[in-house]
């Protein structure tokens, strides 16, 4: 049962009547290639929804962000710090804002 006492089969039937199809996709990891670094989702739950010609993927799971080597190199040059893990942590804590990460590391 879906929360609220709704029968999942009835929901699925209603969605089909509206021209929507939902499908669970089995995946072990989802990687989104983003400008500020990859977003990695481990152990994701992925649902593919198709409505007419539109396809929507809904992803949830344990999110972590990677940091590009270019960003690490830039922060190293600006701070003189050679510890990559410390730099990655600062960039992630700054949500990819390189200037903020550099300022934090220089304190």
Spell out the domain ranges in the chain: 21-65, 69-106
Mean pLDDT of the chain: 87
Q: Which fold has domain 69-106?
A: Helicase, Ruva Protein; domain 3 (1.10.8)
Residue 48 bridge partners (DSSP): 23, 57
Q: What is the mean pLDDT of residues 19-36?
A: 88
The yes or no reply on domain 21-65 and CATH 2.60.98 is: no
pLDDT by residue (tens digit) across 31-83? 998 876 788 899 999 999 998 889 999 999 988 878 888 899 999 999 999 99
């Amino acid at each position: 049962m879906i929360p609220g006492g709704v029968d999942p089969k009835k929901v699925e039937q209603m969605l089909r009547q509206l021209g929507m199809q939902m499908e669970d996709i089995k995946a072990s990891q989802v990687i989104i290639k983003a400008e500020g670094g990859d977003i990695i989702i481990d152990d994701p739950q992925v649902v593919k929804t198709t409505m007419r010609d539109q396809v929507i993927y809904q992803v949830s799971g344990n999110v972590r962000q990677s940091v590009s080597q270019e960003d690490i190199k830039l922060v190293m040059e600006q701070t003189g710090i050679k510890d990559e893990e410390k730099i990655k942590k600062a960039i992630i804590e700054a949500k990819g804002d390189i200037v903020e990460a550099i300022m934090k590391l220089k304190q």
